[in-house]
Amino acid sequence: MTSDAVLIRHLTVADAAAFRALRVGAATDAPSAITWTPEEQSNVSLEQIAQEIDATEFQIVFGAFINNQLIGITKLMREPREKVWHKASIMGVFVDPEWRGKRIARKLLNAALDYAHTRQEILQLQLYVNVQNTAALQLYLSFGFEGMFVVPRAIRVGDQFFDEQLMILRLR
């Protein structure tokens, strides 16, 4: 199956179990890029997950589906406080390893950016990315994100530390 068959849509509370399962997989597959452990994510109730993925004025979660199977996710979260509500964060971009290299992360980011462009109050997007994740860095650069600074030792996995780069995209 090709990435052309991918359906990108915002998640609903009905997607809570699939979302949690994919995030457990993300924490297992990419521990240096994900801030939760598989155990932490497994212990989150489906009710809590449903609240997290339910679209609100301040957040929306997009999913990539093939044959009704959730294979990729990303979240757009806007700041709720007035002085910073011009900013939104892209968070938790993840594609199942079986489907990587098929431009699915690009499709998810396109959906998040398209949505951000419809919200006049969102003037810029920001995200953090593991500096060793060159594929993700290249993807974000291709969208026009600019690297701002590196946060040293941002994530710790056992005795190993990983740096993250803050990246910004000005929309307006």
pTM above 0.85, yes or no: yes
pLDDT beyond 90 at 2: no
Tell me: the pLDDT tens digits for 10-40? 999 999 999 999 999 998 988 888 888 889 9
How many Cβ atoms from other residues are within 10 Å of residue 68's Cβ?
A: 7
Long-range contacts of 82-86 (CB under 8 A, 24+ apart): 85/121, 86/121, 86/122, 86/123, 86/124
How many Cβ atoms from other residues are within 10 Å of residue 51's Cβ?
A: 12
How much is the pLDDT for 18? 97
How much is the pLDDT for 33? 86
Q: From start to end of 47-172, where are the E strands?
A: 59-66, 69-78, 87-95, 124-130, 146-157, 160-170
How many Cβ atoms from other residues are within 10 Å of residue 8's Cβ?
A: 18
- HSE, side-chain direction, 13 A CA sphere, residue 41: 21
**Please, what are the domains in the chain?**
3-124 (3.40.630.30)
Backbone angles phi, psi at 132, to 5 degrees: -85, -10
How much is the pLDDT for 4? 65
